[in-house]
Amino acid sequence: MRSIPLLILAALLWSAQAFAANPLIDMKTSAGTIRIELYPDKAPKTVSNFLQYVRDGFYDGLVFHRVIDGFMIQGGGYSPDFREKGGKRPPIENEAGNGLKNEVGTIAMARTSDPHSATAQFFINVANNGFLDFREPTPAGYGYAVFGRVTQGVEVVMRIAHLPTGPGGPFAKDVPRQPVIIQSVTLVSDK
């Protein structure tokens, strides 16, 4: 009789360890720190690509250059003086068909109209953006690959989303009037 509760406890501990085994990153910004859990089991190529940029220090000193309240905040491509960061790696295959949804607090890869064009830029959803989800493997239906979720610092994400925006650099709108700088992105724990 006693072995059943022990087995249940062991199974629960194993599941908690498996859940906690996902990589965690801390994105320290001028608005506060955002902790993000990554899902390599659902988006292995995307997580691997993102973590390589993190290890390389690629994101350090870049800004959130596109902020749309009620939609998303986007970063990972531009310096505070709106120079596009060089040194990007080749585009990756779009893994949007992984079952993860563009819901509040999820992080996804930004891309061009080519579904398989994502390199370094990412965005954090501040609304449930179902229209960005995978529907079919066509250019119009491919969607945007979610690869993680904010686990701490949602209030920081929302603070950024609510900032006043306007034109800046090459962008006609949606640029925060007060720059939000990504000071560092560090790997807290790895699988």
Residue-wise pLDDT tens for the chain (191 aa)? 455 554 454 454 444 444 558 999 999 999 999 999 999 999 999 999 999 999 999 999 999 999 999 999 999 999 999 999 999 999 999 999 999 999 999 999 999 999 999 999 999 999 999 999 999 998 889 999 999 999 999 999 999 999 999 999 999 999 999 999 999 999 998 76
Query: Model pTM greater than 0.85?
Result: yes
Domain boundaries, the chain: 23-189
Q: Tell me whether strands 165-168 and 171-176 are parallel, antiparallel or unpaired.
A: antiparallel
CATH fold of 23-189: Cyclophilin (2.40.100)
Distance separating the N- and C-terminal Cα atoms of the chain = 35
How far is residue 175's CA from residue 153's CA, in Å, rounded to a whole number?
Answer: 21
